[in-house]
Amino acid sequence: MVVGVLQMRLVLREARTLKDKRRVVKGLRDRIRNDFNVSVSEIDALDLRQTAVLGVAVVTNSRTFADQVLAKVVDLVRHAGGAELGQYETELF
What pLDDT sits at residue 7?
A: 98
Instruction: Evaluate whether 2 touches 60 at the Cβ level (below 8 Å).
Output: yes
Q: For residue 80, is pLDDT > 90?
A: no
What pLDDT sits at residue 86?
A: 94
Average pLDDT, the chain: 95
User: CA 21, 27, 33: angle at the middle one, nearest 5?
Assistant: 130
Q: For residue 4, is pLDDT > 90?
A: yes
What pLDDT sits at residue 16?
A: 93
Mean pLDDT for 7-16 is 94
Identify the structural domains of the chain with CATH numbers, from first to last.
2-92 (3.30.70.1120)
Mean pLDDT for 5-9 is 98
Tell me the C-alpha distance between 43 and 20, whole Å: 18
What pLDDT sits at residue 68?
A: 97
What pLDDT sits at residue 82?
A: 86
The partner residues of 6 in beta bridges, in order of sequence, read 56, 90
The partner residues of 59 in beta bridges, in order of sequence, read 3
Instruction: Evaluate whether 85 touches 12 at the Cβ level (below 8 Å).
Output: no
Q: For residue 5, is pLDDT > 90?
A: yes
Mean pLDDT for 53-69 is 97
